[in-house]
Amino acid sequence: MVYQLLQHYAGLSRTQLYACPEQKLPHDLMEKIEAAIDDLLTNKPLQYITGEAEFCGLPFMVNGSVLIPRPETEELVRLAVQALRTLQRPNTPLRVLDLCTGSGCIAVSVAAQLPAVSVAACDVSEEALEVAQRNAQRHHARVDFFPCDILRQPEAPAAHLAPASVQAIVSNPPYVRRSEQSLMQPNVLRYEPHLALFVDDDDPLVFYRAIASLARQYLAPNGFVLVEINEALADATARVFRSAGYPDTAVKEDLNGKNRFVATNCIF
């Protein structure tokens, strides 16, 4: 990690360091790097110290208002892009809606990989939307960001999307039950936004019900929903979508063999 700090603050690659191990760094830079090492020792994630995380091969700005993007979510992007490619037809633009976008990593990556697709994305947190906006600008991705608490403002997307107009609804909503905190790493618990992580134990699928209900309104007939899920609640999450009128809903494992995604419309 110290190499990554040196790379970030001094712009020195590992090779350059090995080539000139005796070189001195300016005093102010040394102070920054020492402060960063102190931060690391308090379990602060490296990505929050440098303000940057890599996702789908692109650098994303992150801060304490957004989760650090996870490798599982890269898999979600890959699955979404794959399924969207099969829906692409000349002269019929596709639309994607990303709910609970956070840093915007899903929305921006989809837009970057499929420039012809038009992407809308929302989040309850204004601070997160600012980060997402900056990530979109940085990667020249055109994403229509808007504020929306999907649990309390189901009408908000109407100003941005026509009914039945969207080919993909994607989301990585909060899904960790509060009782699962004891299983989590101190760096996550202490530094990542609880708003983006946790749901109450007595209603852990509340976001998926809201997503399914938005799908009823905005999903085009050939469209699909693809969501990241709590591995312990896979069947119950799939049932939410089946009982909302999506019988072809399936669960898929992530690369670690954990039930991690639910999708409608047989996209797996």
Q: Would you tell me which residues interact with ligand GLN (CB under 6 A)?
A: 70, 172-176, 188, 197, 228
CB of 47 to ligand GLN, least distance (A): 13
CB of 70 to ligand GLN, least distance (A): 5
Helix crossing, 234-243 with 206-218: angle to 10°? 30
**With respect to ligand GLN, which residue has the nearer C-beta, 197 or 263?**
197
Strand partners, 92: 89
CB of 265 to ligand GLN, least distance (A): 22
**With respect to ligand GLN, which residue has the nearer C-beta, 188 or 250?**
188
β-strand 198-199 against 176-177: which pairing, if any?
parallel
CB of 24 to ligand GLN, least distance (A): 40
Segment (H or E) for 214: helix 206-218
β-strand 259-263 against 250-253: which pairing, if any?
antiparallel
C-alpha to C-alpha distance for 33 and 45, rounded to whole angstroms:
14
Q: What is the gyration radius of the CA atoms in the chain, in angstroms?
A: 20
CB of 45 to ligand GLN, least distance (A): 12
3-state helix/strand/coil string of 164-187: CCEEEEEECCCCEEHHHHHHCCHH
